[in-house]
Structure 1
């Protein structure tokens, strides 16, 4: 996934590290666009209209991604791979900025039936906005399967806490403000809770003096052009926290936070302003902090 992982496990059962590695290897083998023979890469090469059976984990992520696409009116799009590649954030580098997306709403060109799926247009899947979160959930499930009850899992800055630390304190985590923005650090306890952050300061590239975010706006087929610096999302599911954070980032502070508020989602958005940064919280998050 191009990142690191860590795990703190109280009274770690035997083979804990091996179990975690197995989950991550399975996730990469199914959902990495950087692996030519992964399930997602093979799916993206199938002829348009041809059905392909999908492994269970990939099917779970695809269904969740399509659900989030419907919920966000396409702001989250698991089939945005062509646009990601076009702007140079895929495994092949820049594929040509003069190209145009092959489908106006890529996710609508993915059909799922039972345990198989197909493309009805020349779109490609890209799970970079949801797969890390899925991996966090899958590692947590594997640890619980081994009998672990107290742990903190982190993959690329996305975390899930379960139970408590040996001193009976919860797993406290700090959510730092984006670099250069003088805002207070948000501290919260992860007890059966996951957190994911989407930001414009980790993955980007410069072009013509402009910073191009890796977050794509499916509506424009280009990097997001709003002033969202970061979105932090708290949810029982790290996979859904990951997807929600991406959707809100794309939608922007007004539409994104309004959608999160309607669905009772605990989210914090930081917006860049002329004088620094402005923070927004949904009522669900404000209630958690009371």
Structure 2
């Protein structure tokens, strides 16, 4: 996934690290566009219209991605691979591409069936906005299967906490703040809860002197230009927190917060304003902090 992971586990067994690395290796083998032999690469190479059998975990992520795409009116799109490559963020960076007409929704070109999927147009899957969150959930599931119930998992800035620490304190974490912006530190307790953050400072490219965010608006086919510095979402599922953070980032302060509020999400958005910043918070998150 091109990132790091860490785990704090109460009463950890010696082989916990091996279990975690095995889980992550399995996810990479299914969902990494950077691995030519992965299931996602195999799917993207399949002829248009041909059904491809896929593992259960893969289908879980794809179904969730399509669901968030529907609920966000395409602001999140798991079939955005052509655009990711075209703007220089994928394994085929700089590959020729066509963004298509504004408002095109690539996810509608993917059909799902029982354990199978197929492309109905020249689109490719990219799970970079959801796979890390799924990986956090998968590691947590593996640890629970081992009988462990108190831990904090982190993968590339996405976290999940279960139970409490040995001192009976919850797993307190500070939400990641965009570098260079002065904003109040928000500390949250993760107990059966996950948090994911999408930020314009994590990955970007510079073209013609312009800094382009890795967050691409599938509707316009171009990197976002809405001054959103970061979005953090708290959710029972790290996978859904990850995908929703991406969708809200693309939608921007007004539409994004409206959608998050409508779906009862606990979210905070930080927008760049001149040399400063402005925070937006959903009622659900505000209630959690009371």
Q: Tell whether the structures are fold-level matches, with TM greater than 0.5.
A: yes
The secondary structure found in structure 1 opposite 2:254 is helix
CA offset digits 1:187-235 (Å, max 9, x no partner):
0110000000000001001111211000110111110111100000000
Q: 2:98 aligns with which of 84, 87, 100?
A: 100
Q: CA deviation at 1:176?
A: 3.3
Residue 146 in structure 1 maps to residue 149 in structure 2: no
**SS of equivalent to 2:91:** coil
Listed as ranges, the matches of 1:83-162 within 5 Å are 83-96=83-96, 99-101=97-99, 104-162=104-162
1:69 shift after superposition: 0.4
Task: Tell me, in whole angstroms, the C-alpha distance in 1 between the residues paired with 2:192 and 2:74.
Answer: 29
Structure 1 outlier segments of 4+, above 4 Å:
none
Partner Cα distance (2:248, 2:188) in 1: 20
Task: Provide the residue aligned with 2:182 in structure 1.
Answer: 182
CA RMSD of aligned residues (A): 1.0
Deviation readout 1:127-168 (Å, 9 max, x if unpaired): 000000000000000000000010000000100000000111
2:248 is the counterpart of 1:252: no
Secondary structure of 1:229's partner?
strand
CA shift for structure 1 position 14: 4.3
* Alignment partner, residue 32 of structure 2: 32
Contact 2:52 2:118 in 1 (8 A): yes
Q: Which residue of 1 aligns with 2:62?
A: 62
CA contact (8 A) 2:100 2:221 kept: no
Query: Within the alignment, does 1:74 sit opposite 2:74 as a pair?
Result: yes
Residue 84 of structure 1 and its aligned partner are, at CA, apart by 0.5
Structure 2 stretches lacking a partner, 5+ long: none
Deviates more, 1:99-108 or 1:34-43: 99-108
**Whole-angstrom CA distance in 1 between matches of 2:125 and 2:275:** 39
Could you say what secondary structure the match of 2:144 adopts? helix
Task: Give TM-score scaled by structure 2 length.
Answer: 0.98
Equivalent residue, structure 1, for 2:241: 241
CA distance in 1, matches of 2:130, 2:228: 19
Please give the secondary structure, in 1, of the residue aligned with 2:247: helix
Q: TM-score, normalised on structure 1?
A: 0.98
* Count of residue pairs brought into register by the alignment: 288
Please report how far the alpha carbon of residue 283 of structure 1 lies from its aligned counterpart in structure 2 after TM superposition: 0.4
User: How far apart, CA to CA, are the structure 1 residues paired with 2:233 and 2:253?
Assistant: 13
Shift of 1:177: 2.0
Give 2:276's aligned residue: 276
1:286 counterpart = 2:286: yes
- Alpha-carbon separation, structure 1, partners of 2:113 and 2:205: 38
Structure 1 unaligned runs (5+)?
A: none
Residue 19 (structure 1) shift: 1.0
1:18 maps to what in 2? 18
More off after superposition, 146-155 vs 269-278: 269-278
Contact 1:13–1:148 (Cα < 8 Å) also in 2? no
| 3-state SS of paired residue (2:285) | helix
Partners of 1:13 and 1:147 within 8 A in 2: no
